[in-house]
Amino acid sequence: MIELKNIYKAYGNHEVLRGIDLLVASGKVVVVIGPSGSGKSTLLRCINYLERPDSGAILLDGKQVFFDAPLGVARPHSSKRIAAVRAQLGMVFQDFHLFAHMTVLQNVMEGPVTTLKMDRSAAEQKARDLLEKVGLANRADYYPSEISGGQKQRVAIARSLAMSPSAMLFDEPTSALDPELVGEVLSVMKNLSGHGMTMIVVTHEMTFAKEVADEVVFMDGGRIVERGPPAALFDAPVEERTKRFLQRLSH
């Protein structure tokens, strides 16, 4: 379970997140939607501590992570403790961040070998199993320059899964892809949700949100404006701002 309590984040005088409260139960999929600049990506980056929140608390399985706050003064955890929590939260970005000098198989093996200190033969078997899972077993010996964008993103998903995370965070994973490649990535994500992976997904793919999300969260101006099951939020939104956003998408 991931819980955010009253998260604030600003860059200079610009408040990007303004009091975010969010609860994601184990095995559930929460899809975050909203206009550009609403704070969606910053929210994900705070959950994984790629950005440091200015205030608030992040809890994983009921325990506060990244910070302690004795006497109300926030003190960051050690880099070792932060890295251990980060390993539980797989992150997939818009850009694939694959190592160009490594094969697909080596990219997926790298984390378990270097971070988890897994035996190389065990890491290789795990990597091959995951490449099979994302439909890329026949691309194991290819280099990133030799595969399509959709295939690169599926490798990135396999690489995150290789760390055996308890949850996966997706930051607009299809936005850099040609339209005909989007489906293959969303299919892998749907499969993950079907196997009970806890997921927070920032996306513009409304069909995916309708079909896969347990809850949809609409953000604007650094705040959560409205949230609810897909059927309720898409078919009968309550807030005027949500209605305007969805109406624009339908035109």
In 41-185, which ranges are E strands? 55-60, 63-64, 67-68, 75-76, 89-92, 167-171
Give the model's pLDDT for residue 6.
94
Q: If we measure between CA atoms, which residue out of 208, 131, 200, 198 comes closest to residue 177?
A: 208
Using DSSP bridges, classify how beta strands 63-64 and 55-60 pair: parallel, antiparallel or unpaired: antiparallel
Structure tokens at 54: 């200015």
**What pLDDT is attached to residue 69?**
64
**C-alpha distances in Å from residue 226, one per residue of 13, 32, 229, 243:** 25, 10, 10, 10
Q: Which structure tokens are listed for 180?
A: 């005909």
11-20, 101-110, 140-149, 176-185: which range is least confident on average?
176-185
pLDDT tens for 120-147 read 999 999 999 999 999 999 999 999 999 9
> What's the rounded mean pLDDT across residues 22-50?
95
Report the chain's mean pLDDT, rounded to a whole number: 92
Query: What local confidence, expressed as pLDDT, does residue 48 receive?
Result: 92
Can you read off the two tokens belonging to residue 145? 């320059």
What is the band of 77 on the pLDDT scale with cuts at 50, 70, 90? confident
Kindly list the strands in the beta sheet with 14-24, ordered across the sheet, starting from the edge strand earlier in the chain: 14-24, 2-11, 55-60, 63-64
pTM above 0.95, yes or no: no
Exposed e or buried b for every residue in 60-79, given b needs 16+ CB within 10 A?
A: beeeebbbeeeeeeeeebee
Distance CA 196, CA 27 (A): 5
Is 3 in contact with 22 (CB distance < 8 Å)?
yes
| Mean pLDDT confidence for 141-159 | 96
Please give the pLDDT value at position 114: 92
